[in-house]
Amino acid sequence: MENEELISKKELLELTGISYGQLYRWKRKGLIPEDWFVRKSSYTGQETFFPRGKVLYRIEKIKNMKEDISLDDLADVFSPAQDAISLQPDEVAVRNIVSGEVLKMYHDFRGSADAMDFNDILSAYILNKRIVEGDISLDEGRLLLEVIQESRITFGSDPFVIFLMRKLGVFSCFAVSPPGRTCLDKGIRLIAEINTLTVMEELKCKLI
Amino acid sequence: MDNTKKGDLKIDGSGSAPGGEYNSVKINGAGRITGDTVCQNFRINGSGNVDGNIEMEDGKINGTGTIDGNIKAKQLKITGSGQVRGTISGDNIYVSGSVTIGENLDVQKIKIEGSAKIGHNCNAENFHSDGTFEISGLLNADDITIKLYHSKSRAKEIGGGRINVSVGSDAGFNVLKTIFTLGMYNPVLEADSIEGDEIVLENTTAAVVRGTNVTVGKGCNIGLVEYKGCLLKTGDAKVGEEKKI
């Protein structure tokens, strides 16, 4: 946070066109996290600043979404908490969250075709995206699922970042729980970097 | 709540009971509950202590209640005196007695007719005070109505949509006059900063007020007013500096 560019509250309201009432409402609902409110003393006492990039991006998102969903649902989207959601596989397919083929593979992997909880849907969603993008093959997807499963055991509910890579055409992947830095050998081609927090936000938007 | 019927807990003389799940909990004498408790109805008429967190649908503290943890309640009425070490969260809270909260108050609606002291922040959709309060952190509510009667209220910061501060009409004039002559009549609101969309103030002292439309009324002393729409000053309002943004 130290090196981030800050924006004052006044400038933020002016730039985004939101009012004090909205800002305070979003703060109450947890749409803007408490630790983004940075207090600094000025000649009038104290002024509040925000990490510029993060807050502008978040407000843009809230403004774009709030038309059709309630603030409480929206708060859920931004919270890292796991959703207490459970869906039948057909519903996941019908709602276009995961394609039928990937879904079938996911059932093979976990050995059941029962209702899917949030973690199941998330795993299948991550897999689906990579396969649709053409980054990896179905076989390679299995490896990705194993790493996701292992990561949940190791990191618990902490978010993590999955790195997909290829060396001499051979696929591999690993996960890191931030903050963590990585250093790779030159022969490795990084295919994708998947941040579970970002994917969760994305998925929650689709699930609402 | 599942379908198994839960028992009632009632302490009439003096006694203590373990926490757990109950249908109703009633302390008429002097009682202590040790451990986290979940119940439908909760009532303290005498003096009650809960050593743990308590969750209730409907609660009433008429005597003295000391909660060494957090309260979660759909409805809570404090007509006696309540002391909560942690946070009160819930829907509807009404205080006609006095309450001291160590951490936060997080509710939909709070009405204070007595006095409230909050260690950190107060978050509500609807905040209404006819009594006195002291909030060490931020008072954040969509709709804030503060009627000042006889003594000073204070919050470090106030923020929200609509903020309305006025001096309550003196229904009990004689009582007020008596207090006044004793030198205790001081219907004032103090805050470091007040920010909102529509702000109307009376008898308020603040370093900064920022808002869309701001009315600074009688008895106010504001260091700096920043406004976007219009600023209206009435009576003997004192404003050090004003800036239209």
Q: What digits encode the pLDDT tens for the residues B218-232? A: 999 999 999 999 999
Q: What is the mean pLDDT of residues A127-143?
A: 87
Question: pLDDT category, B4, cuts 50, 70, 90?
Answer: low
Provide the mean pLDDT of chain A.
84
3-state helix, strand, coil in chain B (%, to 5): 5, 70, 30
Q: Write the pLDDT tens digit of every residue in A156-183.
A: 878 899 999 999 889 999 999 877 788 8
Which residues neighbour A11 within 8 Å (Cβ) at sequence distance 6 or greater?
none
> Does residue B36 belong to any structural domain of this protein?
no
**Residue ranges per structural domain of chain A:** 6-78, 86-207
A25 CB neighbours in chain B (<8 A) are: 142, 161
pLDDT above 60: residue A139: yes
Q: pLDDT at position B174, please?
A: 59
pLDDT above 90: residue B91: yes
- Which CATH architecture fits A6-78? Orthogonal Bundle (1.10)
Q: Write the pLDDT tens digit of every residue in B5-34.
A: 788 999 998 999 999 999 999 999 899 999
C-alpha closest to that of B185 among B150, B218, B147: B150
Which chain B residue is nearest to residue A22, measuring alpha carbons?
A: B161
Mutation for testing the B interface, residue in A9, A16, A44 having most B CBs under 10 Å: A44
Q: Write the pLDDT tens digit of every residue in B108-140.
A: 999 999 999 999 999 999 999 999 999 999 999
Question: Is B103 an interface residue toward A (CB < 8 Å)?
Answer: no
Q: Write the pLDDT tens digit of every residue in A76-120.
A: 777 766 566 778 888 888 888 888 888 888 888 888 888 888 888
C-alpha closest to that of B98 among B122, B65, B69, B67: B65
Q: Phi and psi at residue B204, in whole multiples of 5°?
A: -115, 135
Q: What is the mean pLDDT of residues B44-48?
A: 92
Question: Is B226 an interface residue toward A (CB < 8 Å)?
Answer: yes
A46 CB neighbours in chain B (<8 A) are: 192-193
B114, B130 contact by CB (below 8 A)? no
> Does residue B191 belong to any structural domain of this protein?
yes
Tally of domains in chain B = 1
> Does residue B21 belong to any structural domain of this protein?
no
> Does residue B31 belong to any structural domain of this protein?
no
Q: Which domain holds residue B222?
A: 56-244
Which chain B residue is nearest to residue A48, measuring alpha carbons?
A: B193
> Where is average pLDDT lowest: A41-45, A131-135, B151-155?
A41-45
Cross-chain Cβ contact B142/A24 below 8 Å: yes
Q: In angstroms, what separates the C-alpha of A69 from chain B's closest C-alpha? A: 18
- The pair of structure tokens assigned to B118 is 């909050």
How far does CA A74 lie from the centroid of its chain?
A: 14
Provide the mean pLDDT of chain B.
91
Residue type present at position A101:
E
pLDDT above 50: residue A1: no
pLDDT above 90: residue B190: yes
pLDDT above 70: residue A67: no
Q: What is the mean pLDDT of residues B235-241?
A: 92
> Does residue B180 belong to any structural domain of this protein?
yes
Q: Phi and psi at residue B35, in whole multiples of 5°?
A: 115, 165
Q: What is the mean pLDDT of residues B47-66?
A: 95
d(CA B105, CA B119): 9
